[in-house]
Chains A and B, each alone.
Chain A
Amino acid sequence: MRKAIIMILITAVLCALCILPVSAEEPEYRSCEEMGGATVGLLTGMPFENMITGKIPDIGGFAYFASMPDETLALKAHKIDAIFINNALIDFAAAHNPELVKMSEHYLDSNFGFAFPKGDPQRDVWAAIIDRMKADGTIDALWEKWMLSDDPDKNVPEQDWPGKAGTVRVACADSFEPMSYLGKNKQMMGFDVEILLNVAKELDLKVVFTPMEFGALMPTIQSGKADIAIGDIVITDERAEIMDFAPYAPAYFTMLIRKAGVGTAANAGFFQSLGESFERTFIKEGRYRMILSGLGMTVLIAVAAAAIGLALAYGLVFIRRRNNPVANRLISGYNSLIAGIPAAVILMVLYYIIFSSEEFSPVLVAVIGFSLIYCSRAYGIIWNGVSSVDGGQREAALALGYDEALAFKEVILPQSERYYRPLLFSQFILLLKETSVAGYITVLELTRAGDLIRSRTMEAFFPLISVAVIYFLLTFLVTRIARRMDRIFTAKHDNHRIKGVDK
C-alpha cells in the first residue's frame, strides 16, 4: 500500500514537470546582454563557460546535461533559462517545440566534421568526396530532409553495395536527433549517418555502427576501437589537436530560449495525453523491443557478473585462508582499489585502457567490470562471515582428521553461509541497479534504452517511470527469491530430519 502511494506521488511530481505553463510569442531574451541572472544549460564536456561568461558577465550559472532532450525538458520546465548549443540541434528542437525559439546571434562559427585518428590518410579521401557532395547540392538536400522536413518516416539507405573494399567501424552518437540517433529497429539514423553511408557507398565500404554516448566518441577513436566517429561533432581547436576532421556542414553556436509570457500549454486531457505518451514510448517504432532487449542486457550482465564474481570471491577466500602475506596484501589492495573507484570509472578504465583491443565487446567488458566489483564485495561479506566462526570449529574438525580445505568447505563455510547469504542477495540487487552505468561504455542496457526513447519522444515521464517500474519489479522479484530461499533453508533446519535416514 505504501509503495503504491509513493508511486502515485512520483507520478504526480513528474506530471507537474511535463505540464508547466509555456509561452506564446516573443522570446524571453533578445540578446545575450539581457541574460543577466540566467542559468545556461550545456552538454557535459562542452568547454564554453569562459566564452559565455565573457558575453554575460552577470550570468546566473551553468547546468550540465548528458543529452539534448534532457536539456530541452529542463528548459521547458524553467529549470534553466537557455541552452547553448549548435545550430543543428537548435533548429531541430525549435522546429519540434513551438514554445522554444533560437536567438539570432551567432557564435563560434565552424563546421561539423567526421573525426579520424590523428594523421589518418583516409581523412583526405573522405574529405574529397564530401567536398564534391557539398558542391553538387547533395548535402543541402539532406540538411533539408533531416532538419526541416516533417516527414515522420525518414530512412537512411540500405547498405546494398558489395563492400569489396572492406569494412569501416564507425562510432556514432546515439541520441542526437536529427544528426545521429538510434531509430526504429535499433537502426542508426540521421543527417550525419546518411552522409557517411553515401561516402561509404562510393568507397564500397561496409559500415559497422557502434552507437554510444557522445562523450564516448573521442576515447573510442583514440583507443582504436573505431575508425571514424560521427554524431554532431563540431570542429573546435581543442578537438582538432587530438583528431583530424573531414568537415561536411557549417556549424555555429547560439542560445535556445523560451518564448516570453506565461501561457498554458494546450493540454489534452491527462489520461488522453497519458495514452499518447504510452503509444510514443512503447508502441511507435516498436520501442518496447528496445526496452525488452535493454532489460535482457541488464539481467544478463548482472547475473553473469554475480556468478563469476561469486566464484572469484570464493577463490579469494580460499587464498586468503592460506594467510600468505603477499597474497593478503594483494587482496586488500584489490579491495581498496575497487571500493575507492566509482563503477562507471572502473568500466571506462577497463574499456578504453585495459581491454582497449577490439575483440573485447562492451558487454564482455561490462561483465568483467561488474564481476570484479561484485567479487570484491562478496569477498568482504564471505570473509567476514567465515572469520566470525569460532576458531574452535576449525580445531574440532582438524582433530577429527579433516584437512584444512575440507574443514573449511564442510564445517566453516556451511555454518556461516546462512548469515552471509542474505547479504550477497542485497549486494546482487545493488549490482542489478548499478549496471545502469554500463551505458558509459556503449552497452545498451535498460537505463540507456529509456534514455534513447526519451531522446526520441522528447518527454521524461513515461520512459523514466517505465524504467523505474521495471527496475523496481526486478529487484522486488530478487528480494522475493531471497526470502523464499531463506524460508526453505529455515524449514530444512527446523524439521529435525536427518537427510537419508528419516523420511
Chain B
Amino acid sequence: MSLIEIKNLRKAYPEAVPLENVSVSIDAGEVVSIIGPSGTGKSTFLRCINRLETPTSGEIWVDGVNVCDPNTDLPSIRKKMGMVFQSFNLFPHKMVAENIMMPQQQLLGVSRADAYREAVTQLARVGLESKARAYPDELSGGQKQRVAIARALAMHPKIMLFDEPTSALDPNMVSEVLSVITNLAKTGLTMLIVTHEMRLAKGVSSRVFFMDQGGIHEDGTPDQIFEHPQSERTRNFICRVRSWEYTVTGDIDLYEMMAGLENFCRLQFMGKKASNDCQLAMEEMVTGYLLPVLKENPDKSVVIQIDAGEGEKGFSLSVDTRALPRDVFLAGEHDDVSGILLRNLLKRMPDKEPGIAVFTRQ
C-alpha cells in the first residue's frame, strides 16, 4: 500500500462541491505539487488529508490508517503529518524556540533540554539559529514561514503538507522560503505542496497534479504537465499563467499596472534583464504612445498582453489598438526618445491582424 491512498474522496458544501470522486495514491518519497486555478479545491484536498476538513464521503488512508473513520485517533495520525500554512500561524505568545519546543514537550513527551536541542537543530536547518529568542512579531514574513517549517519538522513527520506557503509573502521574501522547501525536497521526505509558484512546481516536484473542476484533472511529471499537457484545460491554464493582460484607459493607475507586471515577470522566472526590459518597454509604450491618444478619447481602451517566452529571456508584447481612431505605431512617426527606446528594446513583428501590433524580444 502506498503511504497515502485516497479513494473516491468527495467534499461537498451546501453551495459548492470542491472535490468529487478523487482517487489517487502517493508513495513515500514523492514530492507532489498541486496547481490549478483558484477555487478548485486544492487546499481543501490538502486539508482533507490531515482532516482539518472532514470529507463528505470516501476514504483517505495515511500510513495504513483511514483518517476518515470517525474512530480514528486524529491527533496521533496528525503527528505524522507536518503542515505549513499560508498565514504561518506561529504562536505569538511564545518565542521562536518555544514554538518549536512546546509541541514536542506536550505531544511527544520530549524533555525540555532535548526539545531545545531539536529546536536549535531545526532552526539551523532553516537558517534562523540566531532568532531562537525572538517573538514571531519580531520576524519578517519569510522568517516566520521558515520557523513554521522548522516547527513542523521538529515533530519528525513522515509527510509534509504545504498549503500555499509563499502566497502571503512579500515578493522579496519568496526566495528564502522556496530554497528551504527545495532543500527539503532533496531529503526524500514525502511532500505535498499546493502552490501558485510555477518555478517551485517545476523545480522541486517529482509529480504535479493539475486540479480543476473538482478533481485531479491531469497527473504527471513536471515535464509532462508544463511542456506537454494532455488536456485542453491544462494547456489553457499553463498558458494563462504564462501570459498577462492589462486594459489601458485614459485614467490608468500606472503604479498598479507596473506592480502587476513586475509580479508577473517574477512568477515567470524571467531573468533580471528581460524583466527590466519588459517593464521599461511597457512603460514607454503606455506613456509615449497610448496615453496621448487615450486622453483625447476617454471612452476608448487598449488591451496589452504580455507572453513569457521560453527560457529566461524572451517575451512578446501585443497591443490591440483596434478601438483607436488611428494606428499609433506607424513607422517613422516617432523619432522621439520613446520611439527610439522602444525600437531598441523590442522588434516589431509584421502584423497578422490589422490593428494588433506584436513586438518581441528574443
Contact = CB atoms under 8 A, between A and B. Distances in A.
Given A400-B79, A415-B93, A498-B133, A395 B106 contact: no
A411 interface: yes
Interface centre among A400, A414, A415, by most chain B C-beta atoms within 10 angstroms, is A400
Interface stretch (B55-63, B81-89, B180-188, B302-310): B81-89
Contact of B93 (A395, A402, A414, A497): A414
B91 A401 contact: no
B37 interface: no
A8 interface: no
B120 to A, nearest CB: 10
B155 to A, nearest CB: 6
A474 B72 CA distance: 54
A120 B24 CA distance: 85
Interface in B101-153: 101-103, 106-107, 112-113, 116, 132-135, 148, 151-152
A396 B79 contact: no
A258 to B, nearest CB: 66
Interface string A391-403: 0110111111111
Contact of B95 (A392, A393, A498): A498
Nearest to B50: A399
Contacts of B134: 496
Contact of A411 (B82, B91, B133): B91
A401 B108 CA distance: 9
A401 B89 contact: no
Given A393-B89, A410-B102, A496-B133, A401 B113 contact: no
B75 interface: yes
Contacts of B38: none
A418 interface: yes
Nearest to B79: A401
Task: Name A's interface SS.
Answer: helix
A406 interface: yes
A400 B151 contact: yes
Given A400-B78, A401-B79, A410-B106, A501 B113 contact: yes
A400 B155 CA distance: 8
Given A400-B151, A400-B155, A395 B107 contact: no
Residue from A411, A414, A501 with most neighbouring chain B CB atoms (10 Å)? A501
B167 to A, nearest CB: 14
A401 B103 CA distance: 8
B157 to A, nearest CB: 9
A418 B92 CA distance: 12
B75 A401 contact: yes
Interface string A407-426: 00011001100100000000
B97 interface: yes
Nearest to B81: A399
B155 A401 contact: yes
Given A410-B102, A498-B116, A501-B116, A395 B91 contact: no
A393 B89 CA distance: 6
B116 A400 contact: no
Given A411-B91, A415-B93, A402 B103 contact: yes
Contact of B52 (A395, A403, A411): A395
B5 interface: no
Given A393-B89, A415-B91, A498 B81 contact: no
A402 B132 CA distance: 23
A500 interface: yes
A418 B103 CA distance: 21
Contacts of B132: 498
Interface of B: 50, 52, 74-76, 78-79, 81-83, 85, 87, 89-93, 95, 97-98, 101-103, 106-107, 112-113, 116, 132-135, 148, 151-152, 155, 161
- What are the nearest 10 A-B pairs in CB distance? A396-B89, A401-B79, A399-B83, A392-B89, A415-B93, A496-B133, A400-B103, A500-B112, A401-B75, A401-B78
27 contacts: A390-B87, A390-B89, A392-B89, A393-B89, A393-B91, A396-B89, A396-B90, A398-B74, A399-B78, A399-B82, A400-B79, A400-B103, A400-B152, A401-B79, A401-B107, A402-B103, A402-B107, A406-B106, A414-B93, A415-B92, A415-B93, A496-B134, A498-B97, A498-B101, A498-B116, A501-B97, A501-B116
